[in-house]
Each structure stands twice: as structure tokens, then as C-alpha cells.
Amino acid sequence: MSLDHLDRPADAPATAPPAAAAAAPAPRRRPPLGLLLAWAVVAVIVLWALVPGVFTAHNPLVGIPAEKLQAPSLAHWLGTDALGRDLLSRIIHGSVHSLSGAFLAVSVGLVGGCAIGVIAGSAGGLVDDILMRVVDVLLAIPGLLLSLSIIILLGFGTTNAAIAVGIGSVAAFARLSRSEVVRVRRTDYIEAAFGSGGRYATVLLRHVLPNSLNAVIGYAALQFGVAIIAISTLGFLGYGAPPPTPEWGLLISEGRNYVATSWWLTTFPGLIVVAVVLAANRISSSLGRKTS
């Protein structure tokens, strides 16, 4: 009979868990399928904008009149328009206009809004009140009406439409960045930075600003999809890129007169816009969870 139990203290457990089992690493979570599909959609659209010639050999501006308004086929996967131009080629070549416009719009809103929000949140007092009242006025104006007013002043075109959309989003970026700056300023490590002799500008740039941009980055991804919709809307109304530029909103506008007979002219460009916007929203929600 074993006498090991006589040497063990009375309060010791009967068996101890192996050290290897206690230190077993947690299994890595795989990214959701929806997030992978969203990144795949964005990657394809970006490749369309960068190297469109790899995906299509048709000229997006020159068509064959004898092949006008042809339904989707092996020769033209998404059909042709009223001038015989390949629709898939026009969608692919138009991605550079829609993506660059959306990127410019988000950049304008991000830089302008963060500048206003950081100044208001860090300065406080009268400066904060004045800047936030200006932001409230901008938020009270409908985004489309504000964009149209700015386009009338700047002129038509994809670049001007993107700037107009970006100016319309400055207020939302400003409110979000200001709230984040105010939250970060009240933390202990910011007070410790000031207490250790840190200068105002140094603490603001080195500590407050980097820790305030997490939520803003996630919102910028969401705003990218909103900017694509806004620029496409302006193009549909005739305030964006002029014909024959293959911009997505303009493609939908050109095909609306043929909805009853040539449904593909509006359906496929619209589906591309929907897919890109949904992908941007999914990526934005993922970034929001990581930064929260």
C-alpha cells in the first residue's frame, strides 16, 4: 500500500493540474466570412481603379453602333449601352472616378473636422462654444442641399463634387473628434503628462491626438461608403463628371431612359455601388469593435 498520502499536507489538493494544460494558449479566432468578403470586394474595386486594362479590353468611351443595347452575353458580360459601349468596361474604368472622389471627400472631412474638433475640445471655453455653434449650423443644413450649394460656387466635375461632399461631412467629424478629445483629456495619464512638466502643444500632439483618433478612423471607413453614395447621387443629377466620363452615378443616369427595355444599364452599376457601400460599412463596424 502507498504511503504518499501521509507526507501530503491535509489542506493540499489531491491532484494538481498539469502546468502545460494551465498555460495552454487560447485558440485564435478566424475573421468572419462577411468581413473577408467585404475586404475582397474593396480589393477588387481598387484593382479595377489601378489596372483596369487587366480586367477588360474594351474601350469605355468608343462603342460599336451595330451592337447597341445588347443584353448580357459572352461577348459583353454586362451588355452594351445605347452607343454600343461595353457596360462592364465602363463600370471598371469608372471605378477610378468614384473611388478617388470618395477618398478626396473623406480626406477633406477628416482633416477639416479633426482640426475643428481638436481645437474645440482642447481649448474649451469660448472657443469651444463658438466652433460648436458653427458645427451645429452645418449639421442643420441637409447634406445634399449643402453639397449642391457648394458645387454651384465651385463648378461641376468629380473633384468639385468630392470637395462639396467632404465639406458637408466636416461637421460630423468635428463633433466626433471633439467628444473623443474631451474624453481623453480627462484621463489620468494626460493629467500626469501635464504634471510632469509637459507643454500644452507637446501633450496634445503626442498623447491626446493619437488616442482620440481610434473612433474617428472607424467613422472614416463608414463615411467612405456614404461619400460614394453622395458622389453617385450628384453624378445622377448631372452635377458630377460630364459625359462621356464613365462615373457610376452618371452610368445609372444614362440608363434610366431604358429601364423598361434594357434593365442592365441601371441594375449592374447600382449593384456595384450597393456592394461597395455595404463592404465599407462592414469594415467600419469591424474597425469600431477593435478600437472600442
Average pLDDT per consecutive 10 residues, the chain (292 residues; last block may be shorter): 48 50 58 90 95 93 91 93 94 94 94 90 87 91 89 88 93 91 78 72 75 83 92 90 89 91 94 94 79 54
The C-alpha atoms of residue 217 and residue 175 are separated, in whole angstroms, by 14
Domain map (residue ranges) of the chain: 36-42+80-291
According to the model, what pLDDT value does residue 218 have? Answer: 84
The C-alpha atoms of residue 142 and residue 48 are separated, in whole angstroms, by 32
According to the model, what pLDDT value does residue 3 have? Answer: 47
The pTM assigned to this predicted structure is 0.82
According to the model, what pLDDT value does residue 291 have? Answer: 55
Answer whether 224's CB lies under 8 Å from 278's CB: no
According to the model, what pLDDT value does residue 286 have? Answer: 84
According to the model, what pLDDT value does residue 202 have? Answer: 76
According to the model, what pLDDT value does residue 2 have? Answer: 47
The C-alpha atoms of residue 109 and residue 129 are separated, in whole angstroms, by 20
Closest CA to 216 of 167, 179, 186: 179
Architecture of domain 36-42+80-291: Orthogonal Bundle (1.10)
According to the model, what pLDDT value does residue 5 have? Answer: 47
According to the model, what pLDDT value does residue 17 have? Answer: 52
Answer whether 197's CB lies under 8 Å from 138's CB: no
